[in-house]
Amino acid sequence: MTRFSVRTVRAPDRAVEPRYDLSTRLGALVLPNPVLTASGCAASGRELDQFFDVAALGAVVTKSIMLEARSGRATPRMAETPSGMLNSIGLQGPGIDGFLEHDLPWLRERGARAIVSIAGGSVTEYAELAGRLRGAAGVAAVEVNISCPNVADRGLVFACDPRAAASVVSAVRDRSAPTVPVFAKLSPDVTDIVAVARACVDGGADGLSMINTLLGMAIDPDTMRPVLGGVTGGLSGPAIRPVAVRCVWQVHAALPDVPIIGMGGVRSGLDALELILAGASAVSVGTAVFGDPGAPARVLTELRHALVDRGFAGVRDAVGHAHRPSET
């Protein structure tokens, strides 16, 4: 079990600006605030719920669910890097049956909004997962993970090809409930992320999640061998935040009406604000929870103060603000 270095966490401050509008819209989905968990860093929220009320967040984004239960890749599967972390967990999880039986009902009982991340090895698998989720109580949105870089077969990274990405998204959109938004999770490891984003939207995506981790690796200078059992893994943490900001900026500039969930190295309210100013309508907090499991609640409090201090009437007024012409 992961050992956390626990610090005191201040719950979201409702005494400050009690009528302040933190709500945000992700397509047809309206959330009470824009701070979410990031897929893969909090399973389905049970671990974090002992540190703060997960229902107080805008939503819980689950670890990517596949059709069958998976044990993941060989150990060691995590390695610390300068300003970040490498992981090669490999989509370990209970499979769709276990998720529907145990995790989704728990989230619903807690009153949390669930954005369910799904992953598959083929278009057919993604479609089947979407069909299994259709009609399941408590699904607020579906995040289509077409970009995980730490699986054994790099051919699974559909997000590296616009046509492949669009085919997966189209299949999921067709099998999902019409009222449930579908978000495509994009990889930064591409030449033109705007082209992939546009293809996903053309394929039926209601919004986009960006970015997933970057493919990286580390070598131990003592053993002179790769640190990770799977050799390569996904790089996350503060080191990738400038990449995330750039990707969100580029896609929002090209597709300003498409809602974006921004993620990548968010540790503070100001980090979250940076992604919102670039064009994100919501922000996921991921790697930060390994050192501070109360980080999502803290980020929400800090973001509220950052927005108030800068004179924004609400979150929606700040989305994409950095794209506006400078006042002279």
Residues 6+ apart with CB under 8 A from 230: 73, 74, 77, 88, 90, 150, 152
Q: Are residues 77 and 230 in contact, defined by beta-carbon separation less than 8 angstroms?
A: yes
Go through the chain and tell me how many residues it has: 328
Question: Environment class of residue 128 by beta-carbon count within 10 Å: exposed (0-12), middle (13-18) or buried (19+)?
Answer: middle
Q: Which of 148, 160, 200, 247 is catalytic?
A: 148
What is the residue whose two structure tokens read 């900001």? Answer: 245
- Which two structure tokens, joined as six digits, stand for 284? 């996921």
Q: Are residues 224 and 196 in contact, defined by beta-carbon separation less than 8 angstroms?
A: no
Query: Within 13 A of 115's CA, how many CA atoms are on the CB side?
Result: 33
148 counts as catalytic: yes
CA-based nearest residue to 41, from 266, 195, 205, 255: 266
Q: Are residues 69 and 93 in contact, defined by beta-carbon separation less than 8 angstroms?
A: yes
What is d(CA 128, CA 54) in angstroms, rounded to the nearest whole number?
Answer: 28
3-state class (DSSP) for residue 8? coil
| Catalytic residue ranges | 148
